[in-house]
Amino acid sequence: MPHPERFRVWLQTLPMKANTSFVALFSVLLIWSCAWSSCDSESEMSSEEISLISITYNGAPLIDGATQLDLEAQISLTFSSSLSQADFQSAILFSGPDGSIPIDLVYTNSSSKVTFSVTLQPLTSYVLRIESRPISSSGGGLSSPFEVSFSTREDSLITSMPPCTNPPSCLQSIQLGEGTARASFQYYGSLPIFEDQAIWQDIRQAVIVVHGASHNPDAYFSYLTNTLKALDLSDNTVLIAPFFRDQSNPDSDTYYWNNLTWRDGRPSANNVSASSFALLDSLMYRLSDSNFFPALNHIIVTGQSSGGRFTHLYSAANTAEETFPNVTFDYIISESQYFYYPDGRRVLESTGQLYTPTGCSGYDIWPFGYSVVPPVLSSVPQATFNERFVNRHLVYLLGSGNATDNTLNTTDCSATLLGSTRFRRGEHMLQYMNLAFPTGHNHEKVIVPGVSHNGSAIYQSAPFRDLITTLLQQ
């Protein structure tokens, strides 16, 4: 028996009378044919149906009505047959509250699998729909339209938060090192700078303050917190106070140093050792990373007393400044009694002129000169170190008070050659720079009148606040 549709078409080609005479016969034959073969004229006309085998969202099955889905989405659909890319593109619709969303489809597995990636909005509902029109390469389609709806989670990305100001709540740590060679480095921070789910959009500058021999970073964190608040800088400045722990407070999992060696860039005393300079580098590199701090363009490092000694040396030891040319770096050396000199000359206090001392063995050994340097600097030539030292911006913050200074080293000739008082030693350092580099250097001084050796008074003084304001406006 001929196919019913083909028979109907052939019938239409006959003359009208013949056509009329065959109507009854055709109806009988059509009924008999479909009864014999259980056919359906529409199904015989259409191509074979295809199936949607699976649909996944970031690798997991996507269920209608799913909630709390990730904002970065990769959606994959797998079919039982190869797709016609043009037909499928017109049959699929991905939409949100504002209407249709354009998607770029990628076909794999002989075009039987299609994938697209899209960034979605938080707490938003979406619908994916596929019409039941022909979509396969052979003209087949789904038996009925497919539709799935879902919604996304809240955005967990941190872009801002109020600064931490209470030191006990602000102590943080970061595991540094590789594999089993890891230990914790602690610091006080106004923000969790190593939070990977954060992009600090409002932070434009960072201040790092280094404690002195008393190992009290929490106190210096408080001093600078007060200063930044007074200057209305708290909301756009991240404050960090690193903790270089001493031997009296060792922890097998935390870096610590013997005999204040941290202030000269020496390795920690742990079995897993690291230079104090390298550990501060880790903070500097994080703060300079535009992936986490896209607006940050200024870092100030300052230290008081032994922290000033550390800052003086670190100013030329770090590699962050040359690695991140779009960030401005300043180093404020506050009330240090020890200073690095690029050569063996010193300033004679009685004349204010340069001279080369005699009779003081080792007066130009590190940290006073570039001899017997710590391992972290073993591959850095003296010329490179000195070039950095001369050209980087250093500010000597000097208290001019005349109170008794019981911590001043007045016995070692390498120290007394620097000057008779803490204040004089700072002034001599700048005098040396002016005399030794008359064609130019990038060092200056700021005096805090009437203040002796006192970190709290220095960092909350008007001259220091003016200095911070001036630096951050440049």
- Note the pLDDT of residue 180: 61
Name the pLDDT band for 177 (thresholds 50, 70, 90): confident
Q: In 3D, which of 408, 441, 443, 436 has the Cα closest to residue 424?
A: 408
Straight-line distance from the first to the last Cα atom of the chain, in angstroms, rounded to the nearest whole number: 94
Confidence of residue 20 (pLDDT cuts 50, 70, 90): very low
The number of angstroms, rounded, from the C-alpha of 10 to the middle of its chain's C-alpha atoms is 76
pLDDT of 28 over the 60 cut:
no
pLDDT of amino acid 155: 79
* Sign of CA pseudo-dihedral 459, 460, 466, 470: positive
Q: What is the pLDDT of residues 145-155, one digit of tens each?
A: 999 999 998 87
The whole-angstrom separation of Cα 16 and Cα 22 is 10
- Reported as a single tens digit per residue, the pLDDT across 416-454 is 999 999 999 999 999 999 999 999 999 999 999 999 999
The C-alpha R_g of the chain, in whole angstroms, comes to 38
Q: Determine the pLDDT at residue 158.
A: 87
Give the per-residue pLDDT at 95. Answer: 96
CB 223, CB 460: distance < 8 Å: yes
Q: Among residues 124, 128, 146, which one has the least CA distance to residue 69?
A: 124
Domains plus CATH for the chain?
4-45 (no CATH), 52-152 (2.60.40.3710), 167-473 (3.40.50.1820)
The reported pTM is 0.71
Distances (CA, A) of 323 to 3, 285, 326, 385: 79, 9, 9, 15
Longest dimension (CA), the chain: 136
Please tell me the predicted confidence (pLDDT) of residue 272.
78
Tokens of 279: 């550990």
- Asked if 311 contacts 303 with a C-beta cutoff of 8 angstroms, the reply is yes
Give the pairing type, strands 52-57 and 66-69: unpaired
Does 90 score more than 60 pLDDT? yes
Q: At residue 44, does pLDDT exceed 60?
A: no
Q: Over the stretch 376-423, which tens digit does the pLDDT of each residue have?
A: 999 999 999 999 999 999 999 999 999 999 999 999 999 999 999 999
8 Å CB contact between 394 and 331? yes
Q: Name 20's Cβ contacts closer than 8 Å, sequence gap at least 6.
A: none
Complete edge-to-edge strand list for the sheet that includes strand 125-130: 66-69, 146-152, 125-130, 92-96, 99-100
Confidence of residue 251 (pLDDT cuts 50, 70, 90): low
The DSSP symbol for 268 reads: P
Q: Is the peptide bond before 367 cis (omega within 30 degrees of 0)?
A: yes
Are the C-beta atoms of residues 459 and 304 closer than 8 Å to each other?
yes
Encode pLDDT of 331-340 as tens digits. Answer: 999 999 999 9
473: three-class secondary structure by DSSP = helix
Chain segment 71-89, per-residue pLDDT in tens? 889 999 999 999 999 999 9
**Alpha-carbon distance 464 to 445, whole Å?**
11
User: What pLDDT was estimated at residue 37?
Assistant: 43
